Amino acid sequence: MGHFGILTELTFNTRVAPSQSSSWKFRPYKLDPIRATALLEAWFEAASDLPNEAFQPGS
């Protein structure tokens, strides 16, 4: 059997967002499958420049 736990607190280490992340292409305005695909591709391209620590829990 697995373990049961309750999450009571989250701590985030924030980073300064690149200036490109505030551009219009990151707002879900009139989002359809084609635009969603382009948005995700842009996100993964931008995220590739982030340090590994941005994707790991804790510090």
Q: What is the pLDDT of residue 31?
A: 80
Q: What is the pLDDT of residue 39?
A: 84
Do the beta carbons of residue 46 and residue 18 sit within 8 Å?
Answer: yes
Let me know if residue 59 belongs to a domain.
Answer: no
Q: How many domains does the chain have?
A: 1
Quick check: 42 pLDDT over 80?
yes
Q: What is the pLDDT of residue 54?
A: 79
Let me know if residue 9 belongs to a domain.
Answer: no
Structure tokens at 5: 């736990």
Do the beta carbons of residue 40 and residue 53 sit within 8 Å?
Answer: no
- Domain ranges, residue 25: 19-48
Structure tokens at 53: 């620590």
Let me know if residue 32 belongs to a domain.
Answer: yes
What is the per-residue pLDDT across 1-34, written as a single tens digit (0 to 9) for each?
A: 677 788 888 888 888 776 665 555 555 667 888 9
Let me know if residue 14 belongs to a domain.
Answer: no
Let me know if residue 24 belongs to a domain.
Answer: yes
Q: What is the pLDDT of residue 41?
A: 93
Let me know if residue 26 belongs to a domain.
Answer: yes
